[in-house]
Amino acid sequence: MVDRRILENFDWWLFLATLLLMAIGFVNLNSASAATGYPYQYKQLQWYIAGTFFMLLFMFIDYRTLMVYSFWIYIGTLILLCLVLVVGRTVGGSQRWISLGIFNIQPSEIAKLTMAIVLSSYFCNDEKPEYGFSDLVRPLILTLIPVALIYPQPDLGTALLLVFIFASITYLVKIRWTVIVSVLAFILAAIPLGWSILKPYQKKRVEAFLNPESDPFGAGYHLIQSKIAVGSGGILGKGYMHGTQAHLNFLPEVHTDFAFSIWAEEWGLLGATCLLMIYAVIVYRGLIIASHSRERFGAFLAFGITAMIFWQMFVNMCMVVGLMPVVGIPLPLISYGGSSVIVTLMGIGILLNIRARRYLFQQSSMGVWR
């Protein structure tokens, strides 16, 4: 029997914004499919349906159960990430998927939600008035282990996203200012080392970001075509299914990395602004849910999931307009990909769950990260 208070506290704004985002994703993939000749939109529709099922499932299961099993969720995710490196399926030079016969799963996508759960559980059960550097070593190690497993796939974008999720969640705790200054200094000092460990194609992407015209038919091609597509959309766009950059095959990966480019070309500034507003509603509702949660784990988890969605949206859009290097992060619920869709909808289901159970007052202390 479903508790009546869960339905009374249902977040309709978040739910309707999510449905609208999926509708836009289907419409956009329909155009991308016409450009590529492959029915991505119908396969994506299957993932939308499956993801909606998981969204509703995670809404009705008490989200605090995730804290109880956070350790095993983390271990299971690490096992999947290790399996990818051993028996993973390679597509486009990247070994990121595990084939299960009728479909593939991408464990690095699962790792995003896993880290939001694990870090929320850790900080919920390790509450301190102020955190020093030594206090952040354990959660940092918890983050760097999956990062180290994801980077060799290679998948620099997702690896960096896990670091962003870690930084976002630690934003909620009080950190000594000396730690913040030390971390910033370390990042600046480590830039030369970071550059040295990048793979050749990753270095070319960074160079193309700084000066795409230096290699217009090589590393800078994708970015140049994407900027042309976004800019040529003007105010109202070229019209649905009339995007020349995509439909004349100038713009690559229109169903995944550059899904926003084809949307902006066909719907213009007006359409791009509407899409941004829908994401803004989702992020805003996520922050409201986090701030209104009456127990620590719910607040951390809601903020972590919101950060997961925000950073993917932010990095992808900055990437396609030339404000960041191309790193291959999908646009949530718009880019084609089953694992990304299901993980995002699971995360939104957890947000709905936290919102619906805000009438619960008691604090929880069921983690295993002490």
The Cα–Cα gap between 82 and 101 comes to 19
Instruction: Please state the length of the chain.
Output: 370
Q: Is the backbone of residue 253 left (phi > 0), alpha (psi -120 to 50) or beta? A: left
Residue 366 pLDDT: 45
Structure-block tokens of residue 316: 């992808």
Q: What is the mean pLDDT of the chain?
A: 87
Contacts (Cβ under 8 Å, ≥6 apart) of 219: 201, 204, 205, 207, 208, 212
Cα separation, 93 vs 238, whole angstroms? 34
Omega before 216 within 30 of 0, i.e. cis: no
Domain ranges of the chain: 4-356
CA distances from 23 to 18, 27, 44 (A): 9, 6, 11
Q: Write down the pLDDT at residue 253.
A: 82
**Rounded Cα–Cα distance for residues 176 and 130 (Å):** 7
Residue reference for tokens 């805000």? 358
List Cβ neighbours of 1 (8 Å cut-off, separation of 6 or more): none
Whether residue 369 contacts residue 124, with contact meaning beta carbons closer than 8 Å, is answered with: no
Q: What is the largest CA-CA distance in the chain?
A: 63
pLDDT in tens, 86-145: 888 877 677 888 888 777 899 999 999 999 999 999 998 877 777 887 888 899 999 999
Distance from C-alpha of 329 to C-alpha of 160, rounded to nearest angstrom: 10
Rg of the chain's alpha carbons, rounded to an integer?
21
Low-confidence residues of the chain: pLDDT under 50: 361-370
**What is the token pair recorded at 252?**
């690559």
Q: C-alpha distances in angstroms, 364 versus 115, 199, 311?
A: 19, 44, 28
Residues 124, 364: contact at Cβ < 8 Å?
A: yes
pLDDT in tens, 202-250: 677 777 666 666 666 666 787 888 889 999 999 999 999 998 888 888 8
